[in-house]
């Protein structure tokens, strides 16, 4: 998977990963993808809610051991 942007939030806890994602989305163009790597389990709840509330697509969410991985695509909203 190749994303347009990469966001490393490993070691950060709520609400920092979502705050950084908000900034990354602001800097991305509509339709561009952002790959997020996180270690905070609360991102499983927070990132989907963020995408749903703000109109972005959570294209993919998966785990690799203790790592939580996401691909978000910036929506037009």
Give 35-62 pLDDT, tens digit per residue. Answer: 999 999 999 999 999 999 999 999 999 9
* CB 59, CB 73: distance < 8 Å: yes
Q: How many residues does the chain have?
A: 77
Is the confidence at residue 1, as pLDDT, over 90?
A: no
Across 10-45, b (16+ Cβ under 10 Å) vs e yields: eebeeeebbebbeebbeebeeeebbbbbbebeebee
What structural domains and CATH numbers belong to the chain? 5-73 (3.30.110.40)
Tell me whether residue 51 is one of the annotated catalytic residues.
Answer: no
pTM: 0.94
User: Looking at 14, 20, 54, 58, which residue is catalytic?
Assistant: 14
**Separation of alpha carbons 39 and 72, rounded Å:** 17
């Amino acid at each position: 998977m190749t994303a347009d942007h990469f966001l490393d939030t490993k070691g950060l806890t709520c609400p920092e990963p979502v705050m950084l994602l908000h900034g990354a989305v602001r800097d991305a163009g509509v339709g561009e993808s952002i790959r997020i790597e996180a270690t905070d389990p609360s991102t499983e709840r927070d990132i989907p809610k963020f995408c749903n509330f703000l109109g972005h697509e959570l294209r993919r969410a998966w785990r690799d051991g203790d790592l939580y991985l996401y691909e978000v695509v910036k929506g037009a909203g």
